[in-house]
A and B are shown apart, each in its own frame.
Chain A
Amino acid sequence: MRVFEGLKFKRASTPIHKLDPRVKFFVSCIIFITAILFNELLPLLILFFAQLPLILIARVHREWMQSLKGASIFAVMIFIMNLIVGYTSPTFGYTISYSLAMAIRFLVLVASFSCFFLTTSPDDLGLALEQSHIPYEFCFAFTTAVRFVPVLANEAQTIVDAQRSRGLELEKGNFIKRVRNYIPILIPLIVGAIRRSLELAEAMESRAFGAKKTRTSLYSLRMKSIDYFVVIITLALFLLAVYIRMAVAIPRIEI
């Protein structure tokens, strides 16, 4: 559950927040691709720690740590699995650093996308989707879903409360009983969701949804010079990484 805290938008006014969401997504993808380029521990560690200044500027370090904590379980699993697979290798010292590298690679991935979601409001995400020429229906479905996540979470809690007040004990019983105990929770939730979507549809119709084939928009994302600058820098660093991968011998660390 805690890993989800690291994906929720945190409102702030930092330079990172102000970057165009498409640029941020681009940077996250480049970090991801770069991480795949390397199997060695050293470059991956550099890639991981290089993100720290960004996190600090964006002031989202606490939430970022939460998502890493949540992801660390998987990172540990990856580490152990790679250790087991490489157990028979003659260079076991290298196996350890390789397994560590794989775990770090996973964390790099989580870290970069966590940073993206933490600094990009769902509003801006929706706009980015729209301006990327994805059909409006999908963009709308996305932002509406995000808008209703807290509402649905509340409703789920209320339903649990209401049924517990009728004597339903969710913690008791064997496995089968416990699964069945969730029926009184799921049915009102689903029925409620259906009812809610009907009401939403009515409201949408009543505000001329679908009146014109081309919608206009109150806000639009415009790339500023800083955005272009970040794109260029990112590309340059990526090309550097590619060069290093192809032409430079990376020191192997044996633990």
Chain B
Amino acid sequence: MSVIKVSNLTYTYLGSEKPTLKEINLVIDKGEFVILTGPSGCGKTTFCRCFNGLIPHFYGGDLKGDVVVSGLAVRDHPTSELSQYVGFVFQNPENQLFALSVEKDVAFGLENLGLQRDEIRRRVEWALDMTEITHLRESAPYELSGGQQQRVAIASVLAMQPEVIVLDEPTSFLDPLSAKKIFEVVSRLNTELKITIILVEHRLDLAVMYANRVIVMDGGRIILSGHPREVFNSEKAYLTGVGIPKTIRLFQLLREDGIELAYVPITPDETAQLIREALKL
């Protein structure tokens, strides 16, 4: 069951001569956890803004091809409608929190949708619970750490009960443990609520264990798509210059020395396990 369908997408920003996205074709199924990565300037940020209509409606420009999200053609529906199906979490925690308390921020989207008060209250409680920030409900944004702010942003998006959540480098400003917490929260949304996740990331070491699909972009095109174990182990990924997760890099280096571990590991646990097996020979 596909939830996002992209056909022959070519997009050029307003005032730009060359297209930023070139003939992209992609199908994402419901329930997938996709990591979208690639070198700076490859178009991943642009691409994910096509999913909730910011492109073309907010940014203008020339959109060729089709992007269909939850059955809606992005070109024909405003972002205010699309954002009920696709939630978006931005990189900078500060600039996506508007209200003076966490509760009000999480309620913001629901108020915009004109829902009844008890429905709003129910959903706010639920979203705060799923992101484990119920104890912060009365706090003001400037009282929160970056990691807490991002969880508020996720809760605000979650409250709208979207089918897809797109996160654009949400952990850039966060320290490793806070980043890990964010990935755990997002993963829970994926496994428990079956929300499709599209995560744009550079910090692949921490994020790769949660994904079941990786898409690598370069120069406005998709050049690799598949399971993390295959994609990151490939020659192409290495040449593109993305940060291959260290566990996979170690697998590759050992293989160069003639040591073939049983499969490609993506967590330290798996790697340790495989090394033990190799030593039992």
Contact = CB atoms under 8 A, between A and B. Distances in A.
Interface of A: 121-123, 126, 140, 143-144, 146-147, 150-151, 196, 199-212, 214-219
Nearest to A154: B142
A202 B81 CA distance: 14
Contacts of A144: 98
A204 B124 CA distance: 18
Which of B83, B84, B87 has the most C-beta atoms of chain A within 10 angstroms of its own C-beta? Answer: B83
Q: How large is the interface on B (under 10, 10 to 19, 20 to 34, 35 or more residues)?
A: 35 or more
Nearest to A199: B95
Give the dominant DSSP class at B's interface.
helix
Contact of B81 (A203, A211, A214, A215): A211
Contact of B90 (A146, A203, A211): A203
A156 to B, nearest CB: 15
Contact of A121 (B52, B100, B110): B100
B108 A207 contact: yes
A206 B100 contact: no
Which of B100, B142, B156 has the most C-beta atoms of chain A within 10 angstroms of its own C-beta? Answer: B100
Contacts of A150: 142
Contacts of B142: 150-151
A221 to B, nearest CB: 13
Nearest to B112: A208
B62 interface: no
Contact of B116 (A121, A210, A216): A216
Contacts of A217: 111, 117
Contacts of A202: 54, 58, 88, 90
Contacts of B97: 147
Contacts of B79: 205-206, 208
Given A143-B98, A146-B100, A218-B103, A211 B117 contact: no
B104 A210 contact: no
B278 interface: no
Contacts of B57: 205
Give 10 nearest A-B pairs by CB, closest first: A212-B114, A207-B109, A211-B80, A203-B96, A199-B95, A218-B107, A206-B88, A208-B112, A205-B79, A208-B80
A123 B115 CA distance: 20
28 contacts: A123-B100, A123-B104, A126-B100, A143-B100, A147-B97, A147-B99, A147-B141, A150-B142, A200-B96, A203-B95, A205-B79, A206-B90, A206-B157, A207-B156, A207-B157, A208-B80, A209-B112, A211-B80, A211-B83, A211-B112, A211-B114, A215-B112, A215-B114, A216-B111, A216-B116, A217-B111, A218-B117, A219-B104
